[in-house]
Amino acid sequence: MTHPIRGKTAVVGVATYGCGEAPGWSSIELMCQSAILALADAGIPLHEVDGVFAATATHAFPTMSVAEYLGVKPRYFDGTNVGGSSFEQHMLNAALALDAGLCNVALICYGSNQRTASGKLVPLSEPQPYETPYKPRMPMNAYALAASRHMHEYGTTREQMAEVAVAARAWANLNPEAFMHGKPLSVADVMGSRLISDPFTALDCCLVTDGGAACVMVRADRAKDCAQQPAYLLGAAGANWHRTISMMPDLTVTACAESGPRAFEMAGMKQSDVDLVMLYDAFTINTILFLEDLGFCPKGEGGRFVAEGRIAPGGDLAVNTNGGGLSCVHPGMYGMYLIVESVRQLRGQAGARQVAQCDVALLNGNGGTLSSQITALLGTAATL
Amino acid sequence: MADTVGGPEAQFRAFLKQGRFMIQRSRSTGKHVYYPRVAVPGSGETDLDWVEAAGTGTVYATTVNRTRDGNTNLAIIELDEGPRMMSRVEGVPAETVKIGQRVRARIAVEDAAEIILFEAIVTQPGAGA
């Protein structure tokens, strides 16, 4: 039986702005500039926006800020913040609101000037009483702990993690928008980089950039009349098992082991239907964990799976074709960029990095310290 | 009315101040709980008593913060009672801490607050496992 919201809504506009470095731009400016560009991409006038979805690391009430700045009066709004995966959750919530007729044009947006404002990842988080006293360097330490456990249980190696960074860079070198475009990277470079939180070197960690991004969603009946080819939401699901890394039930199994199957079920699809995989790669271990938990390889095999360029350009599986958080852009909450790249690929607008015959994209947003996982499947009209 | 001693976190910290590492145990299920809570996570039993932690455990995951000021360990310890906690293993070079290593808790004071740290349990040669 087809799920009642499968294919009922679509992303019809996407945009990014100020990716990399945006000196002199504030977070709200980057966010709203992206929103204006995404609406132009969709061919929908600003005044039609009646649903606003937003999350940042710096706004207590992001949907209020966006509505005021853009001068729209939303009748549905959702500032859910589950970290970097917030925008995948917004996409699911927007689909429900659109389908229920609670709004007609949903704008989802994000912006951050963390690189030029502070030069480091802006902490989103309040102190955690049972972790903060140990002065962890978050989020890096959390992911390093997970990597240590994966290496212990499955024999995953630093070389295999380095392969993730190298594949991401190879994709970035096909994407002029990527911050690390034009800077080749080898496994030896990653291994030889400064060890900062064992087993991670500096090159196992995502970038710290500025950037805004936005997308626009409408119901499928309107989507087909928009300026661009729609990317239909075929399935989406979330799962959240913990907040702090020390409370994660098993450091080698993330909650997308649950959200993935749910999203596939809603879409009526399986792994072999997926042409593009977009995973939130805040650290190299993420890609390995998510490929396993989403069923692209068995648990424990992720390290071996990514070896020998399998997820790089020309490999068996196209993963993180924009260059990812590792080599394209990471303004603190990267999830919005998973949506943008998926839509560009589904439209066939990805230039030199275009995946041939791209009809189905899987996105997996990650938030906190492997805490919230939201998996979504987007597809072209051919998948309806 | 709220307990005047404070919530589980305040009670836990008051014990630490007295030099006691206490964790919670559900009377009906025998399940141990850390960090301190108002109910057993997942099942909700509220019959939680404070019990002295054995103070022994095993390193579940480990990393090293490498900074200009030196190397510092950060670990997740699985207590012998079951629950896990974030801490630091000291007394050995940070980068030599291994998953599976046996550790023992001690209470230290850092930033004017009591904190639980762990030290490696060194097995005497010939003393068996």
Q: What is the mean pLDDT for each group of 10 consecutive residues in chain B (129 residues)?
A: 84 97 98 98 98 98 96 98 98 96 98 96 64
Q: Give the number of other CB atoms < 10 A from CB of residue A296.
A: 22
Query: Among partner residues A136, A148, A247, which is closest to B62 by beta-carbon distance?
Result: A148
Print the domain residue range for A216: 9-119+210-233
Say yes or no: A75 and A184 in one domain: no
| For helices A284-293 and A158-172, angle between their N-to-C axes, nearest 10 degrees | 100
- Residue A18's Cβ-side half-sphere holds a number of Cα atoms within 13 Å equal to 29
Is there a contact between A353 and A372 (Cβ–Cβ < 8 Å)? no
CA dihedral B14, B16, B20, B22 (to 10 degrees): 80
Q: Is the ipTM of this complex over 0.85?
A: yes
pLDDT of the residue at B124: 64
* Same-domain check for residues A50 and A193: no
| Residue B105: its H or E element | strand B102-110
**Is residue A301 included in any domain, yes or no?**
yes
On whether the CB atoms of residues A13 and A228 are closer than 8 A, the answer is yes
Task: State whether B37 and B88 are in the same domain.
Answer: no
Mutant choice from B77, B86, B87 vs A, greatest count of A C-beta within 10 A: B86
Beta bridge partners of B63: B74
The verdict on a CB contact (< 8 Å) between A149 and B61 is yes
Nearest in space to A372 (alpha carbons), one of A204, A248, A213, A235: A248
CB–CB contact B86 A246 (8 Å): yes
Judge whether A124 lies within some domain.
no
In this prediction, residue B125 carries a pLDDT of: 62
pLDDT at A322: 98
DSSP conformation class of A309 = G
Chain B residues within an 8 Å CB radius of A149: 60-61, 99
Domain range spanning residue B19?
Answer: 8-52
Report chain A's mean pLDDT, rounded to a whole number: 97
Distance of CA A376 to the CA centre of its chain: 10
- Is A285's Cβ below 8 Å from some Cβ in B? no
**Residue A213 near residue A336 (C-beta atoms within 8 A):** yes
A vs B, Cβ pairs < 8 A, gives: 68
CATH label of the domain that carries residue A42: 3.40.47.10
Interface touch B61/A247, C-beta < 8 Å: no
Domain count, chain A: 2
Residue A1 belongs to a domain: no
Q: Are residues A115 and A149 in the same domain?
A: no
Best mutation target, A128, A156, A198, to test chain B (most B CBs within 10 A): A198
Question: Are A362 and A267 members of one domain?
Answer: yes
Alpha helices (H) along chain A: 27-42, 62-70, 86-99, 114-117, 140-154, 158-172, 187-192, 220-223, 256-267, 284-293, 302-306, 324-327, 335-347
pLDDT in tens, A235-279: 999 999 999 999 999 999 999 999 999 999 999 999 999 999 999
* Chain B residue with the nearest C-alpha to that of A199: B63
Paired tokens of A290? 């998510």
Residue A143 has pLDDT above 90, yes or no: yes
Neighboring chain B residues of A148 at a CB cutoff of 8 Å: 61-63, 99
Residue A101 pLDDT grade (very low, low, confident, very high; cuts 50, 70, 90): very high
Are A146 and B61 within 8 A, CB to CB?
A: yes
Q: Say whether B63 and A194 touch across the interface (CB within 8 A).
A: no
Would the CB atoms of A141 and B74 count as touching at under 8 Å?
yes
- What residues pair up with A12 in beta bridges, in sequence order? none
pTM of the model: 0.97
Q: Is A198 on the interface with B (CB under 8 A)?
A: yes
Tokens for B102?
Answer: 């046996």
Q: How many CA atoms lie within 13 A of A327 on its CB side?
A: 31
Three-state secondary-structure class, residue A99: helix
Determine the pLDDT at residue B129. Answer: 45
d(CA B9, CA A127): 14
* Residue B59 at interface with chain A, using a CB cutoff of 8 Å: no
Please give the residue of chain B at the shortest CA–CA distance from A137.
Answer: B65
Same domain, B22 and B48: yes
> SS3 for A297?
coil
Tell me: the pLDDT tens digits for A203-228? 999 999 999 999 999 999 999 999 99
User: Which of A338, A331, A346 minimizes the C-alpha distance to A379?
Assistant: A346
- Is B112 a member of any domain? yes
What's the mean pLDDT in A80-108?
A: 98
Q: Does A130 touch chain B (CB under 8 A)?
A: yes
**CATH label of the domain that carries residue B99:** 2.40.50
User: Which of B63, B64, B66, B110 should one mutate to test binding to chain A, selecting the residue with the greatest count of A CBs within 10 A?
Assistant: B63
- Together in a domain, A228 and A200: no
pLDDT, one tens digit per residue, over A20-68 is 999 999 999 999 999 999 999 999 999 999 999 999 999 999 999 999 9
C-alpha distances out from residue A31 to A74, A109, A167, A208, Å: 17, 6, 29, 17
How close does chain A come to B85, measured CA to CA in Å? 6
- Same domain? For B64 and B22 the reply is no
Give yes or no: residues A189 and A224 share one domain.
Answer: no
